[in-house]
Structure 1
């Protein structure tokens, strides 16, 4: 994460997920299947499924895997997953939101609670930290797509709320309800995005020292390893200096 934009380490450790490709594909497949079950199996007619498919493509998930996940939704299998969100506090006063898709609430709740308690945190009640975040649409492009002015003009034209550009790339924020429309307009102007998803953006961030950051990243790794956990969001900020010490 050293050198990444602030949101890169607020969101999750993408690099850690990349190393666990099969685990990531399993999570993506589950989201595709759930999205296809909740609506039509046609991505053009099902915005949530389109988001799931686009995310899978951005992670280089093979087309055959994507199609199998869609077919699974129409095959009448007995697996039924529900969305459950957990909220809690991590080391250093950080606030964490964990989004899951589970077929066993007790199993998932126990695993998430254990992860928090073993790594300097505690699981809170529903709504305990959500008030410190805003539900927004998130679109990310690599720096190679263009300079800040080019992307800013395209984003404003498409109706985006805000844009953050760094040497690593461009982060574009939209109202949650506008995500599909803005993403579609941006795709016409800039090409396919690296990320298109709903996000929890913190209103304020908490700076983490080396000790707190080390424990926090272990917590996030444990959560990421859980098959039921889809995404981990937080309001923490880890400086480049601290990350370099931890990675060194």
Structure 2
């Protein structure tokens, strides 16, 4: 079940304050540089962190300060990935980055109790997601036939560019407001750079977990999920959350 309104929907990608976003991005940059080194070309995690930071308008000076300050930082930030089962088949992945595991776990359990959700065993939830590169290309607000023609034209351009690169492992999903291009993680940057050269507008691009399918929630459970996501976004120990939520029914 594709997301019909991928750009407009805010449930998997809530709008946070710019300062909160920047703080989490800076934290990830510093952790990535500390673990894998300060050269982004030799450190995929750092490369991805820098790329996401630039997309969110974090200044290059701030990025460089966090990279250079990583070796001097005495805090031991550790990654924690939690797989969660929620109501009505809701699947959730939460990534934490913290120097205090007990604080993170205590907070997360509190958020989950209100959602009526539980932490699952490793790999039992991730199997519902695909880890891949995602590139979002918006469609203009046109009449249905014109939008269909525009989407088909974009699809041809994307396929041609991927053929030039010798890449055939790619999925293109046409939604109501955008094209969703999915690549393998290793092909992501080369495909994205090629599409940028084609002057296509890319509103978002990153390597992340994408649901294999989506589930719908009633208003009551949707509100619980929204409150859960709000809590996670405000928590400095939680970096990101993905779910398989589709629409409200």
In the superposition, the TM-score normalised over structure 2's length comes to 0.81
The 1-side partners of 2:9 and 2:66 are apart by 28
How far did 1:119 drift? Answer: 2.2
The 2-side partners of 1:194 and 1:230 are apart by 21
Among 153, 174, 186, which residue is 2:160 paired with?
A: 153
Among 18, 21, 26, which residue is 1:29 paired with?
A: 26
For the Cα contact (< 8 Å) 1:87–1:129, is it kept in 2? yes
Give the secondary structure class of the aligned counterpart of 2:213. Answer: coil
For the Cα contact (< 8 Å) 1:202–1:235, is it kept in 2? yes
| The 10-residue stretch of structure 1 (92-101 or 35-44) with the greater mean CA deviation from structure 2 | 35-44
Instruction: Quote the RMSD (CA, aligned, Å).
Output: 2.8
Among 54, 57, 60, which residue is 1:60 paired with?
A: 57
The 1-side partners of 2:139 and 2:109 are apart by 38
The 2-side partners of 1:8 and 1:42 are apart by 35
Deviations 1:81-132 (A, max 9, x none): 1211001122332011101212111111111111111223222232231122
User: Which has the greater radius of gyration?
Assistant: 2
Distance 1:7 1:180, change over 3 A: farther
Match of residue 168 from structure 1: 177
The 2-side partners of 1:85 and 1:174 are apart by 23
The 1-side partners of 2:90 and 2:6 are apart by 18
Match of residue 4 from structure 1: 5
How far did 1:238 drift? Answer: 1.4
Deviations 1:148-185 (A, max 9, x none): 43334335544251122335333211122332333333
For the Cα contact (< 8 Å) 2:131–2:185, is it kept in 1? yes
**1:73 aligns to 2:74 (yes or no):** no
Give the secondary structure class of the aligned counterpart of 1:176. Answer: coil
The 2-side partners of 1:236 and 1:71 are apart by 38
Give the secondary structure class of the aligned counterpart of 1:116. Answer: helix
The 2-side partners of 1:3 and 1:163 are apart by 14
Where do residues 76-95 of structure 1 align in structure 2 (5 Å cutoff)?
A: 76-95=72-91
How far did 1:237 drift? Answer: 0.6
Match of residue 180 from structure 1: 189
For the Cα contact (< 8 Å) 1:155–1:172, is it kept in 2? no
Among 221, 227, 233, which residue is 1:212 paired with?
A: 221
How far did 1:43 drift? Answer: 2.8
Gap runs ≥5 in structure 2: 141-149
Match of residue 204 from structure 2: 195
For the Cα contact (< 8 Å) 1:51–1:196, is it kept in 2? no
How far did 1:233 drift? Answer: 0.9
Distance 1:93 1:209, change over 3 A: same
Match of residue 245 from structure 1: none
